[in-house]
Amino acid sequence: MKLLVTGAWRCTKEQLNEIESLGHKVVFMQNERDALPCKYEEVEGVICNGLFLHHPIERFTSLSFIQLTSAGFDRVPIDYIKEHNIKIYNARGVYGIPMAETVLCGVLSLYKKMRFFYENQKIAVWEKNRDLLELFGKTVCIVGAGNVGTECAKRFNAFGATVIGVDLYPREDENYKKIYPLTDIDKCLEVADIVVLTLPLTEETKNFMDKNRFDKMKNGSLLVNIARGDIVDENALLDALDNKLFGAVLDVFSEDPLSTDNPLWKKENVIITPHNSFVGGGTLDRLYKIILKNLG
């Protein structure tokens, strides 16, 4: 197979050589926006992320294999892919561990007021803070009980929290007290101290967290979004941060990168990371194993 590999996969020369030893001819392009280094009709397989945002998939007339470096399918023309029987694989299982660790880090940073202590450390001020919270005994609602959500559930369980899930396809799972159908989201929001969003972005989930849903959340609850920015109505979130929520941990935004004048930057009860939660020391190795398996 003639395989187009883009810079979305941080591969090594040795890894590309191993793929070629399996009988594939590799063509590499660093930036997915650039012109292809070969003819469209020659490409039989791709390893990419947002390639089809810049190059119409219709031009890849010999395409039969797609390996995404992302877990989501929202950046590919999935209907076309299904209609043309193109095999497509995502990076399921690659990023769940670092993303879950980021979630725990953010929640604990807010609960333990680490910003307060860090600012005092910079000016050598010894001041106790008696207004800290515990994860133990809290109810955590994970919206999207897939791989990433379940990695989060495992870690919250270790802290003695009660974990419930909300998913389009409820199931029995030892990592959750119960997984509820998506139609029960409102009643789950009413009891949750922490809400973690890990659901995919679709037409149905755009602005999923709107004013009505924020109104359902408990006073003093906390929102975490590591899914997609457009799942949250940002204006409704800003209002909730001022009037309802304890805080928010945000890794994704409708505007990426977040503009310097966005009011979220100035919120003391918000932790912002630049779509960075997927980064971890083991991700490249896990992704390579998945690629080899799917190519085989």
| CA neighbor of 110 nearest in space, from 258, 279, 267, 287 | 267
- DSSP H/E element including 29: strand 25-29
Which residues lie closer than 8 Å to 141 by C-beta, 6 or more apart? Answer: 164, 165, 166, 188, 189, 191, 192, 194, 195, 196
Query: Rounded to whole angstroms, how far apart are CA atoms 189 and 209?
Result: 10
Q: How many CA atoms lie within 13 A of 96 on its CB side?
A: 19
Q: What number does CATH give the domain 2-94+281-295?
A: 3.40.50.720
Asked whether this chain's domains 2-94+281-295 and 96-272 adopt the same fold, the reply is yes
State the distance between the two ends of the chain, measured CA to CA, in whole angstroms: 11
Cβ atoms within 10 Å of 151's Cβ, excluding its own = 21
CA distances from 132 to 109, 113, 184, 193, 246 (A): 10, 7, 31, 15, 12
Say what the pTM is: 0.93
Please report, for the chain, the start and end positions of each structural domain, with discontinuous segments joined by +: 2-94+281-295, 96-272
Which of 3.40.50.10800, 3.30.479.30, 1.10.3720.10, 3.40.50.720 would CATH assign to domain 96-272? 3.40.50.720
pLDDT tens for the chain, 296 residues: list them.
999 999 999 999 999 999 999 999 999 999 999 999 999 999 999 999 999 999 999 999 999 999 999 998 999 999 999 999 999 999 999 999 999 999 999 999 999 999 999 999 999 999 999 999 999 999 999 999 999 999 999 999 999 999 999 999 999 999 999 999 999 999 999 999 999 999 999 999 999 999 999 999 999 999 999 999 999 999 999 999 999 999 999 999 999 999 999 999 999 999 999 999 999 999 999 999 999 999 98
Question: What pLDDT is stored for residue 296 in this prediction?
Answer: 84
